[in-house]
Amino acid sequence: MKVPAAEIRRAVRQGLEEDLALGDATTSALFSSPVPTQARIIAQQSLIVAGMAAAVQTFLLVDPSIRLSVSKHDGDQAKSGESLISLEGDGRSILQAERVALNFLQHLSGIATLTHQFCRAVRGYPVNILDTRKTLPGWRALQKWAVLLGGGVNHRQSLSDGILIKDNHLALLQKERRPVEKACQLARAHRSPTLAIIIEVESLPEVRQALAGRPDIILLDNMSPSMVRRAVGLIKKKALVEVSGGITLKNVRAMAAAGADRISVGALTHSAPAAAMSLVLTRPLRSRSRRS
């Protein structure tokens, strides 16, 4: 699983520009010379680590002389109380990089951890947990990378990655007698052979229309598990079945049991709680000149 290196560099530079473009008034007022310091970032809950590569770049971009020892890498599991990374260097630099580094680690680890929880909830069923395009502007590559680290699967990266016909597309086709079927037919006539056709439906009659249009994937939106089971019975493997809308950790296993092949969860990226962790200064160090 490759780290999106270019996206990380861009995001780190943007984050530091937001925080340090005009300097650090507090640290500058309190410390006029280097303060040799040791510090650690510690997990305060069980989590899947994501964003460590970004955190490392943040500290080194602020001060290349900071020495780092990474205990947990991206994709690793960490328990509450475990150290994720140890730092040694000028305390002023560590404090200046602290918030941006933690923003990456907490947000992305939160996504990876929530994804892992969803994947664990459907364990034993042949179903994939997918993300959506409900991502923060400018952070999509990083957020989707965190989903992969948590064991999920990426849905479309952009509007060009597939044909996903949703309710508002169908609203523009309401003059057609059978808009769901017509939309599938139009998509088949104009698509690139490499693009999958996904059609969103909300009822069993729309499932029947979709089958007549021969899409690759039928997306069952906001259906109960019992309704999903009935729809799967109609589809009979003529298309993959995706389930979306109102998916939670409480109902995701029931959706998997109903026969879904894919379950897309917008909450993975738009509502994942930040993972709990903190940076702790373990002790200030004497300067090297005084040691000698």
Residue 66 has a CB neighbour count (10 Å cut-off) of: 19
Q: Which of 9, 134, 208, 214 is flagged as catalytic?
A: 134
Check if 181 is active-site: no
Q: Which of 99, 182, 191, 229 is flagged as catalytic?
A: 99
Q: Which of 161, 208, 221, 229 is flagged as catalytic?
A: 221
Tokens of 282: 């373990």
Cβ atoms of residues 100 and 15 within 8 Å: yes
Check if 134 is active-site: yes
Check if 72 is active-site: no
Check if 200 is active-site: yes
Residue 209, CB half-sphere, CA atoms under 13 Å: how many?
21
Q: Which of 200, 206, 242, 261 is flagged as catalytic?
A: 200
Q: What angle do CA 263, 268, 273 make, to 5 degrees?
A: 145
Question: Measured between alpha carbons, how far is 115 from 131 in angstroms, rounded to an integer?
Answer: 9
Q: Which of 13, 79, 120, 166 is flagged as catalytic?
A: 166
Check if 221 is active-site: yes
Q: Which of 149, 5, 3, 26 is nearest to 99 (CA)?
A: 26
Tokens of 130: 């997918």
Residues annotated as catalytic are 99, 134, 166, 200, 221
